[in-house]
Amino acid sequence: MSAATTSSAPSTDGSEEVAPRRHLGTLWIALAIVVGLALGYTAGLLTPAVTAPGDDSVEAGFVRDMSTHHAQAVEMAMIMHTKAQDEQVASLAADIAITQQGQIGTMSAWLRDWNLNPTGSQPRMAWMPNSQGSLTNGLMPGMATPEQLTQLREATGVEAEKLFLDLMLTHHLGGIHMAEEVVDLSDDKDIDWLAGTMVASQQREIQAIQTIKSELPAN
């Protein structure tokens, strides 16, 4: 009588390897963010300023507000990257975190070059005409609420991925609105260049978000 083969064979679907791989990937992203921040900071220092913007200028207001706006995008992207099951979602989250942290580095360097503090005396969005209409519960255009961030942290699986994509789509639309406004309001070539870069990259990411959303499972 042969012995019953009750021992289970090792899983071959690779699911047990996802967490270690994702953890390693997150470490690489953290390193890339540090490098990107340093490169962004260096790029900002290498950009000559003919006349430094003042504390209440359009340029200073935009840089401060967009740095805060970007910081939330980085936070959401890192939350999602650590638990995304879909590799496209994980890759998108990584790209967003690295790109926007690098841009934060550039903007931080400009503020230092202008001898300005990271925070100013002006209210949020004061640099933009009719800015009060752009604020929702004190949040800048497209920003997620604290409740939505909590939802993102607690959600799992496809639900989390869809929520992340929806939040980031709204976030990008708000960021594009701010970037397009500063191009109209500022004559600073560096600001116009960075804002243009933001619009282009976020429009590409919006297209990617829409494609990924269409490919995710219904439930």
Element of type H or E holding 160: helix 157-185
Q: What is the pTM of this model?
A: 0.80
Mean pLDDT on 2-28: 46
Mean pLDDT of the chain: 85
pLDDT of 6 higher than 60: no
Quote the pLDDT of residue 196.
Answer: 98
Of the chain, the percentage scoring pLDDT greater than 70 comes to: 76
Residue 117 and residue 49 in contact, taking contact as beta carbons nearer than 8 Å: no
**pLDDT confidence bin for 54, thresholds 50/70/90:** very high
> pLDDT confidence of 12, banded at 50, 70, 90?
very low
What's residue 47's pLDDT? 54
DSSP string, 46-71: HS--SSPPPTTSHHHHHHHHHHHHHH
For 78-119, how does the pLDDT look when each residue is reduced to its tens digit (9 = 90+)? 999 999 999 999 999 999 999 999 999 999 999 999 999 999
Q: Please write the tens of the pLDDT for every residue from 158-175.
A: 999 999 999 999 999 999
What are residue 136's phi and psi, to 5 degrees?
Answer: -120, 110
Neighbouring CB atoms inside 10 A of 157's CB total 13
Could you read off the pLDDT of 193-203 as tens digits, one per residue? 999 999 999 99
More confident residue, 16 or 61: 61
